[in-house]
Amino acid sequence: MSLKQIWVDADACPKVIKDILFRAADRVSVSVTLVANQPLQIPKSRYIRSVQVAAGFDVADNYIVQHAEAGDLVI
pLDDT tens readout for residues 12-30:
899 999 999 999 999 999 9
Q: Which amino acid is at 40?
A: L
Q: Determine the pLDDT at residue 8.
A: 98
- What pTM did the predictor assign? 0.91
Q: Which H or E run includes 58?
A: none
3-class secondary structure, 62:
helix
pLDDT tens readout for residues 32-66:
999 999 999 999 999 999 999 999 999 999 999 99
Q: Determine the pLDDT at residue 17.
A: 97
pLDDT tens readout for residues 26-36:
999 999 999 99
Cα–Cα distance for residue pair 61/30, rounded to 1 Å = 20
List strand residue ranges (DSSP E) for the chain, in order: 5-9, 31-36, 48-52, 73-74
Span 59-74, mean pLDDT?
A: 96
Residue 66, judged by CB atoms within 10 A of its CB (0-12, 13-18, 19+), counts as: exposed
